[in-house]
Amino acid sequence: METRETVETILVVDDNRFILELVVAILKRQHYRVLSASSGDAALEVAANHSIDMLLSDVQMPIMTGPELARRLRRQRPELPILLMSGAAMHKDFDAEEWGFLEKPFSPTILVRTVRKILHTPALLKREMSNVDLEMQVS
């Protein structure tokens, strides 16, 4: 049986332990390398000590919200794929176009599909932009 090696590392952040453990388990079953934190401060420490390919964070957390965490990580890594999740309707403190948004509750299938889309969209867009640049130079 062929095993799939995972290159992508996802940092999952949620102050609700049950949701954190559930999301981590779902992503690990999909062969992602998963790091976790239960607060924004802990997430910043994890991100400082590990290379991450994506942030998946709850929106509403005490002390530092998901959008605040995302903005701080984006200052260090502007191209970091970010997916925010929340059980509440769209929040006022961030623009959904800045990053992906996943409404809770969600199924494992929707979670995995959305994570894959967020992880792979930036690479696809970069390739498309490179092709456009090349076509413009040739013309």
Burial class (CB in 10 A: 0-12, 13-18, 19+), 136: exposed
Q: The domain that contains 34 carries what CATH number?
A: 3.40.50.2300
Say if 122 falls within a structural domain. yes
Residues spanned by the domain of 19: 9-138
On whether residue 44 sits in a domain, the answer given is: yes
Work out how many domains the chain is built from and give that number.
1
In this predicted structure, what is the pLDDT of residue 13? 98
- The string of pLDDT tens digits covering residues 61-76 is 999 999 999 999 999 9
Residue 46 domain flag: yes
pLDDT at 80: 93
Directed axis angle between helix 40-49 and helix 66-76, to 10°? 20
Contact present, 27 and 34 (Cβ < 8 Å): yes
Q: Which residues of the chain have pLDDT under 70?
A: 1-6, 89-97, 122-139
Within a domain: residue 24? yes
Instruction: Transcribe the chain into DSSP letters.
Output: --------EEEEE-S-HHHHHHHHHHHHHTT-EEEEESSHHHHHHHHHHS--SEEEEES--SSS-HHHHHHHHHHH-TT--EEEEESSS--TTS-TTTSEEEESS--HHHHHHHHHHHHHHHHHHHHHHHHHHHHHHH-
Question: What is the structure's pLDDT at 4?
Answer: 55
Contact (Cβ atoms closer than 8 angstroms) between residue 43 and residue 57:
yes
Q: Which of 125, 111, 138, 114 minimizes the C-alpha distance to 24? A: 111
Query: 107 in a domain, yes or no?
Result: yes
pTM of the model: 0.82
Residue 98 confidence (pLDDT): 72
Q: So what's the pLDDT on residue 128?
A: 46
Residue 57: its pLDDT value, please? Answer: 97
Residue 20 placed within a domain: yes
What's the confidence (pLDDT) of residue 130?
A: 38
Residue 1 lies in a domain: no
Whether 2 maps to a domain, the answer reads: no
